[in-house]
């Protein structure tokens, strides 16, 4: 059908009698193995929020992945999936006293932090725990920059980890997040520079972290930009920057420095797809007098495709495979709800759709595996969350 979809995923989508979200577990496992191959020795802590689906977590845990959990509920889900507590960290810098104590009770011993206030609470409710301090990044180069809300400047990180040590905690590491769907190698370069500066300052105080956590941000390959052009992230360059940067950091510290990553999107995005269907293709005058076509689908912004303002998903119309000639026309694509925000590309960037698209025709929405389950609303206009199905390729038996 297309190079952007694996055979098991295509088969499951083709066989689906109704709407659903399909994950290819074999594809996710392969993606995990490839990442380990690019960054030998890396410890993966999968960011649960990108795909809190039990079968996906189980297959990652079985391969040795740990988890980046944002709170007690995610910690419990990771434990249920078979992860050992020492491979789960509490990666959210935002937490209540209650949640810190609960995580500690569940066996989690490593916590992210970015403030003296939070470190003081960890010391009180998870005594003796290991903490890593998140450094701020600009978010530049990312489709979703996770800046301002999280992370501290290098001098504050030194203060936070010195406070941690004084409070009986283990100042175990430093972390960054360069922003989600990061598109540049330079972002990791800047993050590594900031980590180097902080490691040197910590060394001056006799604080020697045992790991550096480069967070998430590794991109999916299969998205299009709003205009429909492939995003094509320079992954090889990113891995090269990370490998070289880690070597440089290792030269700055007295003890061995482990590399931790918290990929979310990168592991799952291209291995999940939505099977939706056509509601209707229409044509009418727009407020500016021009005529435009709109293609309404059964799934949109509130059915897991929340990120469609920033990226465009590849659409496949299996009933009309031939995109050539006049069979395809330009139409704004939109979801099914009574909310005008529920339009692909903000409703301003038309896509190519089959002229003959008829109500009920299946549509496959590709590279929808990241964040779709987390961003699904409950019963918006009476629409239930898409059922979730996991499939495997022939080489891996369930
Ligand atoms: C969401 C999140 C991630 C995953 O980010 P991706 O861009 O999906 O890889 C990693 N770490 C933290 C702390 C997060 O909040």
Cα distances (angstroms) measured from residue 75 to each of 16, 48, 106, 369? 32, 9, 8, 21
Residues 194, 54 share a domain: yes
Listed in sequence order, the residues at least 6 apart from 290 whose beta carbon sits closer than 8 Å to its beta carbon are none
Tokens of 359: 């109500």
Q: How far is the CA of 153 from the centre of ligand 1 (A)?
A: 19
In terms of residue numbers, what domain contains 107? 24-268
Residues 166, 74 share a domain: yes
- The pLDDT value recorded for residue 397 is 43
The answer to whether 332 touches 292, Cβ cutoff 8 Å, is yes
- The preferred substitution site among 146, 187, 219, 261 for testing ligand 1, maximizing ligand atoms within 8 Å of CB, is 146
Q: How far is the CA of 357 from the centre of ligand 1 (A)?
A: 37
- The preferred substitution site among 88, 95, 175, 180 for testing ligand 1, maximizing ligand atoms within 8 Å of CB, is 180
- Please identify, among 246, 268, 290, the residue that sits at the C-terminal boundary of a domain: 268
- Please identify, among 222, 246, 268, the residue that sits at the C-terminal boundary of a domain: 268
Listed in sequence order, the residues at least 6 apart from 269 whose beta carbon sits closer than 8 Å to its beta carbon are 50, 220, 222, 223, 367, 368, 369, 370
Tokens of 180: 């989600």
Residues 285, 240 share a domain: no
Angle, helix 54-62 to helix 72-80, in steps of 10 degrees: 60
CATH of the domain at 331: 2.40.37.10
- The pLDDT value recorded for residue 345 is 87
The answer to whether 44 touches 263, Cβ cutoff 8 Å, is yes
Q: How far is the CA of 5 from the centre of ligand 1 (A)?
A: 24
Residues 231, 120 share a domain: yes
Q: Could you identify the atom of ligand 1 that is nearest to the CA of residue 265?
A: 8
- The pLDDT value recorded for residue 46 is 98
Residue 22 to residue 36: CA distance in whole angstroms: 24
Residues 208, 298 share a domain: no
Protein residues whose CB sits closer than 6 Å to any atom of ligand 1: 47, 49-50, 68, 91, 177, 180, 215-218, 262-266
Residues 264, 237 share a domain: yes
- The pLDDT value recorded for residue 35 is 98
Residues 102, 197 share a domain: yes
pLDDT in tens, the chain (398 residues): 445 899 999 999 999 999 999 999 999 999 999 999 999 999 999 999 999 999 999 999 999 999 999 999 999 999 999 999 999 999 999 999 999 999 999 999 999 999 999 999 999 999 999 999 999 999 999 999 888 899 999 999 999 999 999 999 999 999 999 999 999 999 999 999 999 999 999 999 999 999 999 999 999 999 999 899 999 999 999 999 999 999 999 999 989 999 999 999 999 999 999 999 999 999 999 999 999 999 999 999 999 999 998 999 999 999 987 766 679 999 999 999 999 999 998 888 999 999 999 999 999 999 999 999 999 999 999 999 999 999 998 764 44
Residues 191, 179 share a domain: yes
- Please identify, among 208, 235, 268, the residue that sits at the C-terminal boundary of a domain: 268
Residues 191, 253 share a domain: yes
Q: Following CA atoms 387, 265, 89, 150 in sequence, which dihedral angle do they give, to the nearest 10 degrees?
A: -120
In a domain, 18, yes or no: no
pTM for this entry: 0.96
């Amino acid at each position: 059908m297309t190079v952007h979809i694996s055979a098991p995923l295509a088969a499951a989508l083709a066989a689906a009698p109704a709407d659903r979200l399909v994950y290819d577990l074999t594809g996710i496992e392969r993606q995990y193995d490839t990442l380990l191959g690019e960054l030998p020795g890396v410890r993966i802590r999968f960011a649960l929020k990108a795909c809190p689906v039990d079968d996906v977590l189980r297959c990652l845990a079985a391969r040795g992945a740990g988890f980046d959990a944002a709170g007690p509920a995610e910690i419990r889900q990771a434990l249920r999936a078979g992860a050992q507590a020492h491979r789960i960290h509490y990666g959210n810098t935002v937490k209540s006293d209650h949640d810190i104590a609960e995580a500690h009770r569940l066996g989690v011993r490593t916590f992210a932090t970015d403030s003296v206030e939070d470190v003081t609470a960890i010391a009180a409710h998870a005594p003796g725990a290991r903490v890593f301090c998140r450094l701020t990044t600009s978010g530049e180069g990312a489709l979703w920059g996770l800046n301002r809300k999280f992370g501290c400047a290098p001098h504050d990180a030194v203060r936070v980890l010195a406070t941690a040590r004084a409070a009986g905690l283990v100042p175990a590491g430093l972390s960054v997040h360069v922003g989600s769907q990061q598109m540049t190698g330079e972002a990791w370069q800047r993050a590594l520079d900031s980590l180097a500066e902080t490691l040197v300052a910590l060394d001056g105080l006799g604080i020697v972290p045992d790991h550096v956590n480069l967070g998430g941000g590794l991109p999916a390959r299969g998205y299009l930009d709003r205009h429909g052009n492939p995003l094509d992230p320079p992954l090889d360059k990113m891995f090269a920057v990370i490998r070289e940067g880690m070597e440089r950091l290792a030269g700055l510290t007295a003890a061995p420095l482990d590399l931790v990553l918290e990929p979310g999107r990168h592991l799952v995005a291209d291995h999940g797809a939505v099977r939706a269907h056509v509601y209707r293709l229409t044509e009418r005058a727009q407020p500016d007098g021009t005529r435009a076509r709109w293609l309404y689908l059964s799934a949109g912004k509130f059915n897991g495709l929340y990120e469609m303002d920033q990226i465009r998903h590849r659409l496949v119309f299996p009933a009309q495979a031939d995109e050539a000639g006049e069979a395809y026309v330009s139409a704004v694509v939109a979801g099914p709800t009574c909310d005008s925000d529920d339009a692909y590309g903000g409703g301003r960037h038309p896509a190519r759709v089959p002229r003959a698209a008829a109500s009920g025709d299946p549509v496959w929405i590709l590279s929808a595996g990241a964040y779709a389950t987390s961003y699904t609303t409950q019963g918006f206009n009476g629409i239930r969350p898409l059922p979730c199905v996991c499939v495997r390729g022939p080489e891996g038996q369930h």
